Copies of this chain bind each other. A is one copy, B any other.
Amino acid sequence: MTLPLKSLFQLPDGMIYLDGNSLGPLPCGVSDAVKACVEDQWKNQLIKGWNDCGWMEQPERVGNLIAPLIGAQSNSVVCGDTLSLKVFQALSAALQMNPERKIILSDTGNFPTDLYMAEGLIKLKAAGIELKLVEPGQINDALDSTVAAVLLTEVDYRTGKRYNMPQLTQAAHAVGAVAIWDLAHSAGAVDVDVAASGCEFAIGCTYKYLNAGPGAPAFIYVRPDLIDTIDPALSGWLGHQSPFSFNLTYQPVSGIGRFRIGTPPVLQMAALEAALKVWENTSITEIRHASIRLTSLFIDEVESRCDQLTLVSPRDSAERGSQVSFAFEHGYAAIQALIDRGIIGDFRAPDIMRFGFTPLFIDDSDVVGAAESLAEVVNERIWDQPVYHRRKAVT
C-alpha cells in the first residue's frame, strides 16, 4: 500500500489533524480489539486470561513489534508504565553503570518530565549527583569525564529539531558517559536506529506517532549486551525470574523482561498491539521520506502566503523531525482559530505553534489546506477578535 493510509484510521470528517505528535488518531481495528479484550477475554476467561489470552507475555510481545520501528534488535524492547517511569529506569541504570560520576547532562530543550524524574532520582540517591542543563546545541562542549549519563530527547518537542543521535552517542561514549535517548517524538515518525547509534537506553511513548490511544503504555530499549548486567531499581514482581514462586527476595529474570515492574495494563496493551498493525502496510523508511516531503511542503506553502511567522524548526530536513513549528506573537489565538476551522495543531508557551505531520494519514492536500487556513487566520489578524482569548493548552 502507498502512503497515506487514511483508510486505516477513523478520522473525524472534515478535520485536518496535525496533532498526531500529541495524540494519534484512532486506528481501525483498535476499538474491536479492546472490545474483544473486555467482552471475550476478561468477561469469559477471567483469571485464566493471564495464561490463555497471552496477557502475561504481552509487554515483551508488543515490544518486539516496536523494535523494528526504532532499529532495535528483537527482545531488547519491553512495554509498560509511562515514559516518566521509563526515564527513571534508564537513568537509575546509567548511574549504576557509572557509580563514580556525579553529573547527569541534559539540555533546556528536553521535555520537562525527563528533567523532573532526574531531579527526583537525584534527591532520592542523596549522593551529590547533579543535573547539569546546557542550552540545546551545547552538549558536545559540556561532555567530559565527570558525566555519568547524557539524557536527551531526539526530536525537540517544541522546535521539532532532530538531534544527531549517532554523533552525540559517540561523543558521550568518548568520555565514558552513558547515552539515554527519549524517542517520544521519534518512534513512528523518523528513521531512528538505536542499534546503529550504540546508545545504551532509549525510551518512548506510544500515544503520539504510534497511535495507541490516550495513556498508552511507554517502552524502554536496553542495549542487548547490557540487559542482564543491570539490577533494576524499580524491581517489581513481574521483572522477577519466577514471579509465581513468591520468593521473598528479588532475582531479576534474564532478558528485557527485568524492566517490567507491575501488572501490565491489559486493555491499553490490547489497544497498542492492535494500533501497531498499521505498520504491516508500510515501513519507517517510507514514513520518513513522506514526512520530509510533507513538512517541507508545509513550510513552503505557509511562507509563500504570509511573512509574519518565524520558522523555529530547522529548514534542513535532515535536522527536522516530523513536525513544523512557527513562532508567532499571536500564536495561541491563531491555533484556536485554526482548531475552529477543523485544522488541529497545538501551542506551546511562550509563542510556538506546532504542526505534526503523520504521513500515515496526512497527504499533500491536507498540507496545502492547512497552510491556506493558517495564512488566512494570520492575514485576517484573528487575534483582534475577542473570542480568541486564552484557553488552557494541553500536551
B394 near A51 with CB under 8 A, answer yes
Instruction: For A168, list chain B residues within 8 Å (CB).
Output: none
Known: A262-B83, A395-B244. A39 touches B31 (CB 8 A): yes
Instruction: For A217, list chain B residues within 8 Å (CB).
Output: 265
In the complex formed, the residue of B with least CB distance to A116 is B250
Known: A120-B250, A125-B124, A264-B215. A112 touches B240 (CB 8 A): yes
A387 close to B (CB within 8 Å): no
Q: How many copies of this kind of chain does the complex include?
A: 2
A236 close to B (CB within 8 Å): yes
A167 close to B (CB within 8 Å): no
Known: A116-B236, A244-B394, A248-B133. A267 touches B214 (CB 8 A): yes
Counting chain A residues whose Cβ lies within 8 A of the other chain, the interface size class is 35 or more
A115 close to B (CB within 8 Å): yes
B-facing residues in A106-155 (Cβ within 8 Å):
108, 111-113, 115-117, 119-121, 123-127, 133
In the complex formed, the residue of B with least CB distance to A239 is B116
Which residue of B46, B51, B344, B346 contacts A17 across the interface (Cβ within 8 Å)?
B46
Could you say which of A64-72, A84-92, A309-317 contacts chain B? A84-92
CB distance from A34 to the nearest CB of B (A): 6
Instruction: For A262, list chain B residues within 8 Å (CB).
Output: 81-85, 113, 218
Within the assembled complex, what's the spacing in Å between the Cα atoms of A207 and B50?
A: 13
B-facing residues in A55-110 (Cβ within 8 Å):
55-56, 81-85, 88, 92, 108
Which residue of B49, B124, B234, B395 contacts A85 across the interface (Cβ within 8 Å)?
B234
Using a CB–CB cutoff of 8 Å, the interface residues on chain A facing chain B are: 10, 12, 15, 17, 19, 22-23, 25-26, 30-31, 34-35, 38-39, 41-44, 46-51, 55-56, 81-85, 88, 92, 108, 111-113, 115-117, 119-121, 123-127, 133, 205, 207, 213-218, 231-238, 240, 243-250, 261-269, 271, 344, 346, 348-349, 392-395
A-B contacts, 24 of them at CB < 8 A, read: A12-B44, A26-B42, A34-B35, A34-B38, A42-B213, A47-B344, A49-B214, A50-B395, A81-B82, A82-B236, A82-B263, A84-B236, A85-B85, A85-B234, A108-B248, A111-B246, A116-B240, A123-B231, A213-B266, A214-B263, A215-B264, A215-B267, A215-B269, A265-B268
